[in-house]
Structure 1
Amino acid sequence: MANKKLKIRQLVTNRIRVTKNGKLLRRQAFKRHLNAGKSKKRLRKLSKTVLVKEVFAKKLRKYLGVKLNK
C-alpha cells in the first residue's frame, strides 16, 4: 500500500503554476466581485500571483509529483 499512486485532480493543476525551480504560484482571493468598496491599491495588490506557503506547498508538490530544485 506504500506505493499507491496519488491521482492528480484537474482543479489543482488549473489553479497552481509550477516554476522551473519547483516553487508553486497561486492567484489571490477576494477579487472576483464586490470590488467597488476596495481601494485601487488593494485591487492592484490582489491582482498579483503569490507563492504558496511552504506548509501547503510540500503537500501540493507531493500531490502533483513535483520536486523542489534548490
Structure 2
Amino acid sequence: MPKLKTSKAIAKRFKVSSSGKILRHKASKSHLLQKKSSKHRRHLSSTCQVDSRDAKNISINLPYL
C-alpha cells in the first residue's frame, strides 16, 4: 500500500498537541489591529482547540501527525 500524502496547506495551519488534540490559531490578527484593544489582541494570539466536527476532516489530511 502506498504512503499517504500530508496536505501541506493543512500542516502549516494546524498542529497536534501531545494529548492528540488539534490546535489552531485565531483569525483577525493580521491587520487593522489599531482599533482593537490590547486585551483583544492578546487573546487573539493564543491557540485554541479545533471543533470536534472539523477535527475528523483535518486528521484525515494529516496522516502522520
Q: What is the TM-score with the length of structure 1 in the denominator?
A: 0.78
Q: Which residue of 2 aligns with 1:8?
A: 6
Query: Which runs of 5 or more residues in structure 2 are unaligned?
Result: none
Task: Report the 3-state secondary structure (helix = DSSP H, G, I; strand = E; otherwise coil) of the residue aligned with 2:30.
Answer: coil
Query: Which runs of 5 or more residues in structure 1 are unaligned?
Result: none
Work out the percentage of aligned pairs sharing the same amino acid: 37
Could you list the runs of 4 or more consecutive aligned residues of structure 1 that deviate by over 6 angstroms after TM superposition?
none
Q: Which residue of 1 aligns with 2:50?
A: 52
Q: CA RMSD in A?
A: 2.1
Task: Report the 3-state secondary structure (helix = DSSP H, G, I; strand = E; otherwise coil) of the residue aligned with 1:50.
Answer: strand
The answer to which structure, 1 or 2, has the higher relative contact order (CA under 8 A, 6+ apart) is 2
Q: Which residue of 1 aligns with 2:18?
A: 20
Deviation at 1:4, TM superposition (A): 8.7
- Structure 1 residues 4 and 59 mapped into 2: Cα distance closer, same or farther (>3 Å)? farther
Separation of aligned partners in 2, 1:14 and 1:42 = 24
Aligned length: 65
- 8 A Cα contact 1:31 1:46, kept in partner: yes
